[in-house]
């Protein structure tokens, strides 16, 4: 893989005080490749997590509801990485309710959100969480203030360092900011699904971390072979690496968290942080239907 110009800053100051690598790691696929299973081999998943940290990742995104049968992302993180490095930033999500059999319940109310934070603290073996996202849902226009307020109260208690929103809009972001500072936003975003660009713009303007999930997905769409394949070949990179590099080039606040259950893939994903696309590459990719 080749680069074409000097590398940009490789770190971002999350919340103004936590330096994190711009390429992070999402733990959703550690228990199982798909949320419904089958379960992964625990030692393979442990090796993936260990390799990500060896390659410089210090921003890991997890959630208590990332589990399959007896294997959970939080349990793997605790087993493999504890005692935690001082610079390791663990971000967690609360909001959905998931039952032990893997089925999903109604979105969590304030009391369940608080329980989810305490559960995450226990599972990770930490006294405070670096970042907690409220995962929003389509009815949150009416309930987001109360739910976000419950997390803001935990922040005041010292159990949470920074707060974030997931699946948000600019309106919901502004509403949350009237309650407490928002350090990060986690939305679906990638080359072939450029949703809510106004949210990315707002984060860029305010210096809020924008953490895209599913950056490598096409959401069932047929991907055009050109110019993606041509650009990848010229840089001796993979199509996935080009997608990640394009995403990072959108704004200096973008912190991708690609997840995988493969050691080879985690190595490729992290290497994408060093892939610098030139203006012609970016213009050609920008022109693709998103």
Average pLDDT, stretch 111-115? Answer: 97
pLDDT at residue 289, as a whole number: 84
| SS3 call for 114 | helix
Q: How far apart are CA 127 and CA 159, in angstroms?
A: 7
Q: Are 157 and 187 in contact (CB under 8 A)?
A: no
Residue 133 appears among annotated catalytic residues: no
Pick the catalytic residue from 66, 84, 133, 189: 66
pLDDT tens-digit profile of 203-228?
A: 999 999 999 999 888 655 667 678 89
Give the ranges where 70-210 is alpha helix by DSSP (H): 73-81, 110-124, 140-157, 170-177, 197-206
Average pLDDT, stretch 192-203? Answer: 93
pLDDT at residue 218, as a whole number: 65
Q: How confident is the model at residue 57 (pLDDT cuts 50, 70, 90)?
A: very high
Q: What is the pTM of this model?
A: 0.93
**C-alpha pair distances (Å), 53 with each of 167, 233, 237, 250:** 27, 28, 22, 25
Q: 44: which DSSP letter?
A: H
Q: How confident is the model at residue 5 (pLDDT cuts 50, 70, 90)?
A: very low
Would you say residue 47 has pLDDT above 90? yes
* Lookup: tokens for 174: 């502004």
pLDDT tens-digit profile of 223-235?
A: 767 889 999 999 9
Average pLDDT, stretch 100-129? Answer: 95
How would you class 263 by CB atoms within 10 Å of its CB: exposed for 0-12, middle for 13-18, buried for 19 or more? middle
pLDDT at residue 142, as a whole number: 63
Give the ranges where the chain is alpha helix by DSSP (H): 42-54, 73-81, 110-124, 140-157, 170-177, 197-206, 228-234, 239-249, 263-271, 279-286
Bridge partner residues of 210 (DSSP): 185, 254
pLDDT at residue 2, as a whole number: 39
Q: Are 110 and 141 in contact (CB under 8 A)?
A: no
Bridge partner residues of 166 (DSSP): 135, 186
Is 242 or 37 the better-scoring residue by pLDDT? 242
Q: Which of 78-82, 103-107, 143-147 is predicted most confidently?
A: 78-82
Q: What are phi and psi of 200, to 5 degrees?
A: -60, -40
């Amino acid at each position: 893989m080749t680069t074409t110009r000097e590398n940009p800053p490789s770190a971002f100051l999350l919340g103004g005080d936590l330096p994190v690598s711009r390429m992070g790691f999402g733990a959703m696929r550690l228990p199982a490749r798909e949320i419904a299973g089958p379960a992964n081999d625990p030692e393979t998943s442990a090796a993936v997590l260990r390799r990500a940290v060896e390659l410089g990742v210090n921003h890991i995104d997890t959630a208590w509801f990332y589990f399959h049968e007896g294997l959970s992302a939080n349990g793997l993180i605790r087993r493999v990485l504890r005692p935690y490095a001082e610079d390791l930033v663990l971000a967690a999500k609360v909001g959905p309710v998931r039952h032990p059999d893997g089925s999903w319940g109604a979105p969590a109310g304030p009391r369940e959100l608080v329980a989810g934070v305490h559960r995450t603290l226990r599972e990770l073996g930490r006294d405070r969480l670096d970042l907690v996202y409220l995962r929003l849902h389509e009815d949150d226009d009416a309930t987001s203030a109360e739910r976000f307020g419950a997390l803001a109260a935990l922040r005041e208690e010292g159990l949470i360092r920074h707060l974030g929103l997931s699946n948000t809009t600019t309106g919901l972001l502004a509403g949350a900011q009237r309650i407490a500072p928002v350090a990060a936003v986690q939305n679906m975003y990638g080359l072939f699904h450029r949703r809510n660009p106004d949210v990315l713009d707002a984060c860029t303007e305010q210096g809020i971390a924008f953490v895209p999930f599913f950056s490598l997905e096409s959401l069932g769409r047929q991907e055009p072979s050109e110019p993606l394949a041509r650009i990848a070949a010229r840089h001796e990179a993979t199509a996935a690496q080009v997608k990640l590099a394009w995403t990072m080039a959108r704004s200096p606040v973008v912190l991708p968290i690609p997840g995988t259950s493969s050691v080879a893939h985690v190595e490729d994903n992290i290497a994408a942080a060093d892939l610098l696309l030139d203006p012609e590459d970016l213009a050609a990719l920008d022109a693709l239907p998103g």
